Amino acid sequence: MREVTVIVDLKGKNYLTNVIADPDTPEEEILEQAREQVLKQWTI
């Protein structure tokens, strides 16, 4: 497992989040996981 720090742009604001993923996880999947995390955290 590895920890990847990702900056997600959501509604004109940048959010920093970490994603724990396997080393062979594609970058697109890591970015999607990061976006989902930010959406869950900031959407009511």
Token pair for 29: 């999947």
Decide if 31 contacts 9 (C-beta within 8 A).
no
pTM: 0.85
At residue 38, what is the residue type?
V
Name the DSSP letter for residue 41.
H
Instruction: Give the pLDDT confidence of 7-40 residue by residue, as tens digits.
Output: 999 889 999 999 999 999 999 999 999 999 999 9
Domain that holds residue 33: 2-42
Work out the pLDDT band at 42, boundaries 50, 70, 90: confident
Count of domains in the chain? Answer: 1
Q: How would you label 12-29 residue by residue, b for 16+ Cβ within 10 Å and e otherwise? A: eeebebebebeeeeeeee
Phi-psi region of 13 (alpha: psi -120 to 50; beta: other; left: phi over 0): beta
